[in-house]
A and B are shown apart, each in its own frame.
Chain A
Amino acid sequence: MTAGKIRTVWHAIRAKARALREIYEGLYVTPYRSQIYRAYLQERDLFLLSSFSDLLGAPNPVLFYTLELYPELIEQFHEWHVRMGMPQAPEGGFRCC
């Protein structure tokens, strides 16, 4: 058997092993994917609320610091206010939409 053939067989074996591993890991993730994602969204929403509560009228003593997160969270902020039933950002300063 040539080196090329050995390499081909080796690649085929690795591909099969990868596929099997994906099935194996998929069995862990699949049953609870949606429940965990919803729990994650809840946590993220709470974090956003505590970071930018000023936008909803609740004083936030650490707004000066949390504003630094603004560039990082701008996309999430947009998804959040849409999910909260506000099609437009509650404050004009946030240019997410």
Chain B
Amino acid sequence: MSAIALLVIGLAAFLTGYQLYSRYIARHIYRLDPDFVTPAHEFEDGVDFVPTNRHVLFGHHFTSVAGAAPIVGPAIAVIWGWLPAFLWVVLGTIFAGAVHDFGALWISTRHKATSIGSLTEQIVGGRARVLFLLIIFFLLLLVNAVFAVVIANLFIANHGAVLPVWGSLVVAVVVGLLIYRTRVGILWPSIAALLVLYVLIWLGQYAPFALPDVFGFAPSGSQLQAAQGDLSVAQEAASVDGVRTGWVIVLFIYAFFASVLPVWVLLQPRDYVNSHQLFVALAIIGLGVVLVNPEIVAPAVNWELPADAPGWFPLLFITIACGAISGFHGLVASGTSAKQLDRETDARYVGYGGMIGEGTLALTSILATTAGFAVFVGREGWVEHYGTWARASSGATTAFVNGVGVLAEGVGIPHTVAVIFAAVVVISFAATTMDTGVRLQRYIISELGAQYRVRIAQNRWVATFVAVVSCAVLALGLDRGAGGMRLWPLFGTTNQLTGALTLLVVTLFLARLRRPVWVTVVPMAFLLFMTTWAMVLNLVRYWVESQMMLLAVGGIVFVLELWLVFEAAAVVRRVVRGAVVVGGRG
């Protein structure tokens, strides 16, 4: 199978989904009204509620939802072959993820731009609000821990990425100062920042940096076993653990300060530079696929799975989370985008279209790992890399960055530079998510402190410290960080649960309007079924392997999941009792 064919099929499906399915939903289900007075107009204050150009809002929404997760998930999931990953990304995006994002934006617009959390309370009930907060708390905890490990692994594998990543922080601060302290405007500082960043990426190959191992861990039992008695190999693995631990600690120290700094100093300019990176990366990968046209060497369906790998059904649906459907998008859509929607009809372009962009990013990850990466390491190398579940998980981003390296080489960028570029893209996305994640956790801890009158928790330094330490403990608690990627399925589950909760809220609202609910009920039921089943399998696995920390975190997530299933069942009962016809005319 040629990579171009897969790219064309995927993009054609996305385009068809946008043109036909989203139009059908907009006209017949959500019934968007161009004359509806959106909250941006009704409550216009120039601060939160601002009618915004739809292209600006699309760009803001898309760059807010796109991150490292749609890259990492598919890069792991191709272990089951490219076909299941491809089908879930394409069909999941069209029929679940985009409907979810579109729905969250629409329902929020119809409720004075209220956030999904508050809507949950209004529409489902007070109990569901608590459930929502708990799910969000665990989502942030897991995403911060996992992304710290992802970044640490990338720094260990790509020493050349260290200079551009940390250098880009200085560049971002300078851009922020130039924009807010001088009158130079936005255009030139951001173009200059991009140029400086690319110079740093080029310089990265000449100035690699390896963090020294200051911990000097002794080899663990599993490392000794894996080394088959060769002590030097086991010691080397333990040394990598030490370096990873060092990086994770450095990253959380950075996240601590980044999340308490004013946003204009670092987060805003950094986000902006990252947005450019996102579009540049998509263009380079797309062009690379067309020019190189590598063959996809991964099997369509991998029938000879490694011994430690779980079956694709149903684990696929929690491994690829953001690339197909993500509850996090609902928070962005309802929290900020809904307050800026100029016309209700823009919701289709911003919400549905934004998720199509995310699906495209996930598609490029499949292409980079199944075709580009295979050109780099050869067919045997690919099979070896995906020869164990552990290696496929911890090396997911390595496969992606090397795959992008090959595709970018086809565009004329030297391979070494291209690999550093791809590593910088993934690290920047993950780090920005960490900044925001720690900041949001700080807010939640402060809110809880205010609610239960714990004054010390309201102090921003204390709240940030608690957030950072809890994430770091989780990240390093699993085999000194080596098992950090084992948290990925739990992150995926929590993310899907948030998505299911949003779909539940939209369903109930549609039912109240006496409109067909199948567009949201089907993906919601699918998600709940798959995540429940996958979590049962995961918990059994953790129990058998005596992974107590994973069992504890997974157990909590599973309880939240059962709670959500209970709420969903209660909602369905209400819908049925109200004689609302599922699949009928509204």
Q: List residues of chain A with CB under 8 Å of any chain B CB.
A: 21-39
CA of A36 to CA of B47 in the docked complex: distance in angstroms?
9
User: Are B264 and A32 neighbours in the complex by a CB distance under 8 Å?
Assistant: yes
Q: List residues of chain B with CB under 8 Å of any chain A CB.
A: 47-48, 50, 52-53, 55-57, 59-60, 63-64, 179, 185-187, 190, 262-264, 267-268, 271-272, 275, 336, 340
Chain A residues near B268 (CB, 8 Å)? 28, 31-32, 36
| Known contacts A27-B59, A27-B60, A36-B264; A21 and B187 CB within 8 A of each other | yes
The smallest beta-carbon distance between A66 and chain B, in angstroms, is 24
| Known contacts A25-B187, A28-B272; A34 and B48 CB within 8 A of each other | yes
Residue in A22, A25, A34 whose beta carbon sits within 8 Å of that of B47 in the complex: A34
CA of A32 to CA of B262 in the docked complex: distance in angstroms?
11
The smallest beta-carbon distance between A20 and chain B, in angstroms, is 9
CA of A77 to CA of B262 in the docked complex: distance in angstroms?
24
Q: A24-B186, A27-B63 are in contact. List 4 more A-B contacts (CB 8 A).
A: A25-B186, A27-B59, A30-B56, A31-B268
User: Are B57 and A30 neighbours in the complex by a CB distance under 8 Å?
Assistant: yes
> Secondary structure at chain B's binding surface: helix, strand, loop or mixed?
helix
Q: List 19 A-B contacts (CB under 8 A).
A: A22-B53, A23-B53, A25-B185, A25-B187, A26-B59, A27-B59, A28-B186, A30-B56, A30-B60, A31-B60, A31-B268, A32-B264, A32-B268, A33-B50, A35-B263, A36-B262, A36-B264, A39-B263, A39-B264
User: Are A39 and B55 neighbours in the complex by a CB distance under 8 Å?
Assistant: no
Chain B residues near A30 (CB, 8 Å)? 50, 52, 56-57, 60, 340
User: Are A26 and B56 neighbours in the complex by a CB distance under 8 Å?
Assistant: yes
The smallest beta-carbon distance between A59 and chain B, in angstroms, is 28
The smallest beta-carbon distance between B476 and chain A, in angstroms, is 31
The smallest beta-carbon distance between A82 and chain B, in angstroms, is 14
> Secondary structure at chain A's binding surface: helix, strand, loop or mixed?
helix
A-B pairs with lowest CB-CB distance, top 9: A26-B56, A25-B186, A32-B268, A27-B59, A34-B48, A30-B60, A37-B47, A28-B186, A34-B47
User: Are A27 and B56 neighbours in the complex by a CB distance under 8 Å?
Assistant: yes
Chain A residues near B262 (CB, 8 Å)? 36, 39
| Known contacts A26-B53, A36-B263, A37-B47; A31 and B190 CB within 8 A of each other | no
Residue in A23, A31, A38 whose beta carbon sits within 8 Å of that of B336 in the complex: A31
Chain B residues near A26 (CB, 8 Å)? 52-53, 56, 59
Chain B residues near A22 (CB, 8 Å)? 53
Residue in B48, B59, B267, B340 whose beta carbon sits within 8 Å of that of A23 in the complex: B59
The smallest beta-carbon distance between B263 and chain A, in angstroms, is 5
The smallest beta-carbon distance between B384 and chain A, in angstroms, is 42
A25, A27, A36, A38 pick with most chain B CB within 10 angstroms: A27
The smallest beta-carbon distance between A38 and chain B, in angstroms, is 8
Chain A residues near B185 (CB, 8 Å)? 25
Chain B residues near A28 (CB, 8 Å)? 179, 186, 190, 268, 272
Chain A residues near B55 (CB, 8 Å)? 23
User: Are A27 and B275 neighbours in the complex by a CB distance under 8 Å?
Assistant: yes
Chain B residues near A21 (CB, 8 Å)? 187
A23, A30, A36, A38 pick with most chain B CB within 10 angstroms: A30
The smallest beta-carbon distance between A23 and chain B, in angstroms, is 5
CA of A57 to CA of B64 in the docked complex: distance in angstroms?
46
Chain A residues near B50 (CB, 8 Å)? 30, 33
CA of A25 to CA of B64 in the docked complex: distance in angstroms?
16
CA of A27 to CA of B276 in the docked complex: distance in angstroms?
11
